[in-house]
Amino acid sequence: MLFPICSEAARLRLKSSWAVALLDTLGVEVEADLTHAVPGALLVANHVSWIDIYVINAALPSAFVSKAEVRDWPVIGWLAAKNDTIFLRRGSRGHAKIVNQEIAALLARGRHVAVFPEGTTTDGRSLLHFHAALLQPALSAGYPVLPVALSYWELDGQRSLAPRYDGDISLGQCTRAILGRKRLIARLVTTPLRGLNGEDRKQVAAEAREAIALAAGLPLASNPPETPGDLPGVLPSDGHPTGSRNPAPADSA
């Protein structure tokens, strides 16, 4: 009830505290290295689980971009809507242009906006191709891209597969796997800012992917630069919509 009438700074603090509380309930502890974080940056992160959104919000409260269909998902859609998700209608060039403007406006206010340029989740052990068009709104408006590496670890120091939300794994199965661990460590590592010297989006995407792979200890597998047909589109400067998908509560969501 208070959230809508709070100041923006208060809402960001509430988002962070709620995310921390949810993760604590799930037995997930966040370790964040925010060395390179600055206000008004587009966060570009690898995507493993539906809890990625809350790991990011715990450390760097952000707005997320998601395909519009997510709004209708049970529970997840409601949570996404309550977390400043920008819902994008697939196939609408006019709406994509509006979304680009919304992203630029948020960045101009010093807010963080987060996207998952892989377009889908993985099991956390590799990276897919990054869809560069998702970076264009920030680059066109002159705001930096902040690559963020996410990884999950067991208490014994081994990489954890419990949070994975890929393939045919359901939300319930994923949640039960997380709850089945006594404690998990979610590591969020920021890397140096990109896109500050007029680089094009493909170069920035490639550099961000390499930085995330290094920070998360992941191999740079060679994946074809395909764009799944069900991904929402973000309108780049050339006017042709391309897409990304943020699974659960937000596909930058």
Q: Which residue has the higher pLDDT, 32 or 222?
A: 32
Q: 48 phi and psi, to 5 degrees?
A: -115, -40
Mean pLDDT across 226-250: 36
pLDDT in tens, 154-189: 999 999 999 999 999 998 999 999 999 999 999 999
> Residues of 25-52 as b/e, b for ≥16 C-beta within 10 angstroms?
ebebbbebeeebbeebbbbbbbbbbbbb
pLDDT at residue 93 in the model: 64
Residue 141 pLDDT > 60, yes or no? Answer: yes
In one-letter notation, the amino acid at residue 61 is P
Residue 250 pLDDT > 70, yes or no? Answer: no
Q: Which residue has the higher pLDDT, 79 or 190?
A: 190
Q: What is the mean pLDDT of the chain?
A: 84
Mean pLDDT across 93-111: 84
Residue 162's region, left for phi above 0, alpha for psi from -120 to 50, else beta, is alpha
Confidence of residue 68 (pLDDT cuts 50, 70, 90): confident
CA–CA separation, 146 and 207 (whole Å) = 11
pLDDT at residue 221 in the model: 62
Q: How far is CA 204 from the centre of its chain?
A: 16
Residue 51 pLDDT > 70, yes or no? Answer: yes
Residue 233 pLDDT > 60, yes or no? Answer: no
CA–CA separation, 222 and 109 (whole Å) = 37
Mean pLDDT across 210-236: 61
Residue 223 pLDDT > 70, yes or no? Answer: no
Beta strands 145-154; 184-190: pairing state: antiparallel
- Find the Cα–Cα–Cα–Cα dihedral 221, 227, 233, 239, rounded to 10°: 100
Confidence of residue 92 (pLDDT cuts 50, 70, 90): low
Q: Which residue has the higher pLDDT, 227 or 138?
A: 138
pLDDT at residue 94 in the model: 65
pLDDT at residue 76 in the model: 72
- Asked if residues 34 and 190 have their Cβ atoms less than 8 Å apart, the reply is yes
- In the chain, the domains with their CATH numbers are 3-216+231-243 (3.40.1130)
Residue 24 pLDDT > 90, yes or no? Answer: yes
Cα-based distances in Å from 206 to 40, 147, 160, 179, 218? 21, 11, 26, 35, 14
* Alpha-helix residue ranges (DSSP H) falling in the chain: 8-26, 52-59, 76-81, 93-108, 136-141, 171-179, 201-216
Residue 248 pLDDT > 70, yes or no? Answer: no
Confidence of residue 226 (pLDDT cuts 50, 70, 90): very low
CA–CA separation, 24 and 195 (whole Å) = 35
pLDDT in tens, 29-48: 999 999 999 999 999 999 99
